[in-house]
Amino acid sequence: MKSRSFSGLRRIPQRGVVAGVCAGIAEYFGWNVKLLRVALVISVLLGAGAIIVVYLILWYVMDPVEDDRLPGSGYGGDSPSDPSGAARRPSMAEVQTRFERLDARLRGIEECVTDKEFELRRELKKLEA
């Protein structure tokens, strides 16, 4: 079994309620941050006091992420606001680069789906079922 490195695990204070630990964990694992926070609060209310100790240890151990490394920064409504209160808008070059990457991914998906081998595998799976 392949072990997972936790070197990219960072807390995100800009998106956090207390210290950004839940936001960082949710971002790293691809989980919903609201559900993680609800699970944390429920576990504390049900008497799992060790959760608070674990949270405080993670707060101390996890490094904060820098503003320019925030996932999704500058795109959509999920980026944190700057101190002036206005969200950073992406430049035209950033938008163009992002669309070029998305276009390349879409072309790759289209090639896979329209490939004759893909059709053959799909037909074989139908016959197996």
Q: What is the pLDDT of residues 57-100, one digit of tens each?
A: 888 888 888 765 555 544 444 444 444 445 677 788 888 888 89
How far is residue 127 CA from its own chain's centroid? 38
Q: How far apart are CA 22 and CA 40, in angstroms?
A: 9
Q: What is the pLDDT of residues 17-57, one digit of tens each?
A: 888 888 888 888 888 888 888 888 888 888 777 788 888 88
Give residue for tokens 């209160």: 85
Residue 51 confidence (pLDDT): 80
pLDDT at position 8 over 70: yes
Burial 54-92 (b: 16+ CB within 10 A, else e): ebeebbeebeebeeeebeebbeeeebeeeeeeeeeeeee
Tokens of 91: 């430049």
